[in-house]
Amino acid sequence: MPKLPFKQLSFLIIPCLPGMTGAMEDANDTTEINFILVGLFNHTLTHVFLFSMVLMIFLVSLMGNALMILLIHEDPQLHKPMYFLLSQLSLMDMMLVSTIVPKMATNYLMGTKSISPAGCGAQILLFLTLGGGECSLLAAMAYDRYVAICHPLRYPVLMNQKLCLHMTAGSWLLGGVDGLMQAGATLSFPYCHSREINHFFCEAPSLVRLACADTTFFEFFMFVCCILMLLIPLSLILTSYSLILAAVLRMKSTAARKKAFATCSSHLAVVGLFYGAIIFIYMRPKSYHSVARDKVVSAFYTIFTPVLNPLIYSVRNKEVNGALRKWLEKHFLGRL
């Protein structure tokens, strides 16, 4: 039977004859169409422990980010542009980790490794939408901190609600456009050889390695997308923080300087972790890629970074800690 291009296979409907033979043929065709995710873990004792840790981190990430959104929504003290942007970051992190971990956990627990073309496309689309949106959102948060520290008296004007909503919507839109373009381009290739993806989720670079067509133009296109979605926001972030650092060093008040450093250092920690890992995966030359190393780095920014964000932003933030204390007193401690 001649191999067909992937996009033809993905829409192929094979009529089944009644009975066992038809069912077996349909199952074989489905298996042939589906991709195989090698995964991150095997079933040794060590990997079972690591899988349990990842599952625990996933649950903590969901609870931490959901709690951050809840606090920002309920506490009037947190109804500020900075915290609105932070709530969007938490929402993106929740969706990002939910795009990856449930499928990975299901495959591991059920002993299956297959993922349908539609499921693979959905993972690529959601991952790039949320990852690209987060890059733009971090740039918006850097601008917010720049205005708050360098132009505090003009903050209500320069960082008004309308601009805040526009920046948030723009982040989601840019991420969505990037996700649609790259997911569509990735799934348009014919995959006529191995369908085994040496990864724990469908990530565009890993999937493109399986294509039996020239992917040079797509790789160039992906590099351009990385410049637009990664390097431009990163340059805006670095510019904002260079101006913030210059302003902080001119401050005479030690307390004001400490507060500015505390706020900015937490944001820079998030930026460094997130951007560093993504640039490592998407902007290195192909000859420097190592499958094992790429999987570990991908696990870092898809699983571990989302749980770190609420911790980093809350540990040194008095307003968030105060809101958490009030919420606990109202809903739990007050009933004792």
Burial code (b: 16+ CB inside 10 Å, e: under 16) for 269-290 equals: ebbebbbebbebbbeeeeeeee
**pLDDT above 60: residue 3:** no
Its sign, for the CA torsion 212, 299, 52, 98, is negative
State the chain's mean pLDDT as an integer. 82
pLDDT digits (tens, 9 = 90+) for 242-273: 998 888 888 777 777 777 777 777 778 878 88
Percent of the chain with pLDDT over 70: 88
* pLDDT value at residue 260: 75
pLDDT digits (tens, 9 = 90+) for 284-295: 776 666 777 788
Helix axes 305-315, 45-74, angle to 10 degrees: 40
* pLDDT value at residue 283: 78
User: How many residues does this entry show for the chain?
Assistant: 336
* pLDDT value at residue 144: 93
- Reported as type and span, the H/E element at residue 117 is helix 117-150
| Mean local confidence (pLDDT), 152-174 | 94
* pLDDT value at residue 38: 87
Give 315 or 124, the one with higher predicted confidence.
Answer: 124
Percent of the chain with pLDDT over 90: 34
CATH topology (fold) of 30-335: Rhopdopsin 7-helix transmembrane proteins (1.20.1070)
**pLDDT above 60: residue 336:** no
* pLDDT value at residue 26: 40
| Mean local confidence (pLDDT), 136-140 | 94
Structure-block tokens of residue 108? 């591991």
CB of 109 within 8 A of CB of 167?
Answer: no
Report the alpha-carbon distance of residue 146 to residue 197 in Å, rounded: 43
Full-model pTM: 0.84
